[in-house]
Amino acid sequence: MIFTDSELRARRANEAFRQLTGLSDEALIGRRPSEIDRGLGLADISPIEDLLAEQVLKQGVPVVNKPMERPLPGGHRHLAWTAYRVMDNDRVLGVASTLTDITEGMRANRDLRQANRRLELLQRAGSEIGTTLDVHRTAEELAALAVPELADRVAVDLLDPFLLENPASGEPGILRFRRFATLDSTAPGPGNFNVGECWTVPITQQPAVVFLRGEAVVARGEAEIREFDLPAGLVTPLMERGVHTLLMVPLTARGVTLGVAAFSRSKTPGSYEEADVRLIIDLTARAAMHVDNARLYSQEHAAAVTLQRSMLPRDIPHVAGIDVAWRYRPARQAAEIGGDWFDVIPLSEGRVKLVVGDVTGHGIGAAATMGQLRTTTMALVRLGSPSTEIMGQLSEMVAAQGEEAGATCLHAVYDPSSRCCRLASAGHLPPALRHPDGRTEIIDLPPGLLLGAGQSSYPVVEREIAPGSILALYTDGLIERPGQDIAVGMASLKRALADGPTQSLDELCDFILATLAPQPRDDVALLLARTAAPSGKG
């Protein structure tokens, strides 16, 4: 506390004031605020003196807990300043002022705000990192969460071989990284490496050391950064941006280190505290887990698609009296890769069998079951078994695989000489038919039981199909949508079959897929067959 008279000259100050300011009575007593030693950093003291004179002394309006920051002998301090007029029988005696050191409270509040901010970032990480099974997107989400809250710039680099995109350089003592994300809030442009660009680093330099040891390292100040043993392609852009703090963190998940993320500060004052480092390590670990999930997803997706495609017919045989085109499109997600299949099988006397089917469930197991069903069907066809008998045999085979196994299939046997088509279904969606005049319909078939659901008969429906008609066999991924009635999807198929180009069946296949399933959630198999006019007729 300090008391100044009506001319704002100091008359008394207590010991706590002298200790806080480091001034003796000789330096205080008899002096106005503007005359006190400027060593206190009171360069802006004139507004304070004016405030005391005009507001406190003249008007009697006190100053209450006005925040102030000052470099004092004990260090930079946060103060709360209060000043009020002192009266005696309507006579103004002067002003009493108090300075309360609130530095520790301010630090506690700052620490609390920082702790809340870190907790908020962790909570946001749960919903903002790993929203897709895409490696690039996950790396971008980590960068977006960290900038600008934790860093002015973030770069995420993954070891190339783990992503199965490019083989390693093969050079001993060299690691090959690829940039998957970069975000800088202070400067435009990538700075060193573009996203998607590969770069190599010797195992003795810092990015490789962080990767190999699996431990985060931090450099504070330009001197430490320059001693960080970074490749020239990395350190030069950092220095040009005025980076004063650099933190490199390995991306490790399930015991495997996938890459390195670099967090740097340039315009943001202050280096990383230990709590910041722990938070960034935690966020990076969460991102690494999602990156690894995406990596495993990519591997499973590739394996499932490869297996699925390997079991589908590579070449469709040419059969007189009918033209055929087909498309198979895998689902966007690995978990949705299933057991859709189709076949075109020549029979005796010029007939042809068209088959389409779908195994319940998804993944590599469903694709393997599909391969068994297709192989068994081909063997039974060669033995001359009719469609109903084949379906019965397939149902027994599926039932033997357990209660969760199941499949649907549709067989259509077409005889060009009689134009008769015999159709039988085991729980499969009915085919669509486009007549030569452009009319379309869904052929009404008894659905039959799902393969593996028990003993059942599979009634055969005979239908005459005019020359120039187009028969469409398909799987449910083409027309089914979550929350949408199946009839809506069938109506859409009829419209697409009617509106699409008919001169080329391949073009019609592409049109139907683009219209109904541009990005399918489930596998799609589509088989189109156009009946030809009998020999000698136009």
pLDDT value at residue 59: 92
Question: CA-based angle 27:31:33, to the nearest 5?
Answer: 100
Biggest CA pair distance of the chain: 129
Question: CA-based angle 83:89:93, to the nearest 5?
Answer: 40
Mean pLDDT taken over the chain: 84
Which contacts qualify for 497-502: CB closer than 8 Å, 24 or more apart?
A: 497/432, 497/434, 497/440, 497/470, 497/472, 498/434, 498/438, 498/439, 498/440, 502/434, 502/470
Highest mean pLDDT out of 63-72, 236-245, 504-513: 504-513
Per-domain residue ranges of the chain:
2-101, 126-302, 312-531
| Residues of the chain above pLDDT 90, percent | 37
pLDDT value at residue 538: 36
pLDDT value at residue 70: 73
Cβ neighbours of residue 245 closer than 8 Å, sequence gap 6 or more:
218, 219, 220, 221, 264, 265, 270, 271, 272
- How far apart are the C-alpha atoms of 276 and 332, rounded to whole Å? 38
> What type of residue sits at position 521?
R
Reported as a pLDDT band with limits 50, 70 and 90, residue 34 is: confident
Reported as a pLDDT band with limits 50, 70 and 90, residue 170 is: low
Summarize pLDDT for 389-404 with one digit per residue, the tens: 999 999 988 888 877 7
Reported as a pLDDT band with limits 50, 70 and 90, residue 340 is: confident
Of the two residues 459 and 188, the one the predictor is more confident about is 459
The residues that bridge with 199 in the sheet, in sequence order, are 177
CATH fold match for the domains 126-302 and 312-531: no
pTM of model > 0.75: no
Give me the mean pLDDT over the 47-59 stretch.
Answer: 88
pLDDT at 534 over 60: no
- How far apart are the C-alpha atoms of 326 and 319, rounded to whole Å? 15
pLDDT value at residue 478: 93
> What type of residue sits at position 420?
C
pLDDT value at residue 39: 47
Give me the mean pLDDT over the 454-477 stretch.
Answer: 91
**Does 312-531 carry CATH code 3.60.40.10?**
yes
In 3D space, the residue among 158, 130, 133 whose CA is nearest the CA of residue 144 turns out to be 130
pLDDT value at residue 505: 94
pLDDT at 537 over 70: no
DSSP state of 160: G
pLDDT value at residue 161: 66
Q: Taking a C-beta distance cutoff of 8 angstroms, is the pair 260, 251 a contact?
A: yes
Reported as a pLDDT band with limits 50, 70 and 90, residue 347 is: very high
Reported as a pLDDT band with limits 50, 70 and 90, residue 4 is: very high
Summarize pLDDT for 404-451 with one digit per residue, the tens: 788 999 999 999 999 999 999 999 999 999 999 999 999 999 988 899
pLDDT value at residue 536: 42
Provide CATH code, domain 126-302: 3.30.450.40
Summarize pLDDT for 85-141 with one digit per residue, the tens: 999 988 999 999 999 888 888 777 776 776 677 778 777 888 888 888 888 889 999
> What type of residue sits at position 22?
G
The owner of tokens 């280190």 is: 257
For 398, the enclosing helix (H) or strand (E) is helix 387-399
Superfamily of domain 2-101: PAS domain (3.30.450.20)
pLDDT value at residue 276: 87
Q: Taking a C-beta distance cutoff of 8 angstroms, is the pair 106, 67 a contact?
A: no
pLDDT at 313 over 80: no
Summarize pLDDT for 126-165 with one digit per residue, the tens: 888 888 888 888 999 999 998 888 899 999 999 886 654 4
| Residues of the chain above pLDDT 70, percent | 88
Reported as a pLDDT band with limits 50, 70 and 90, residue 305 is: low
Among 32-41, 230-239, 265-274, which is the least confidently predicted range? 32-41
SS3 state at 149:
coil
Tell me how far CA of residue 58 lies from CA of 3, 31, 63, in angstroms.
16, 20, 13
pLDDT at 334 over 60: no
pLDDT at 239 over 60: yes
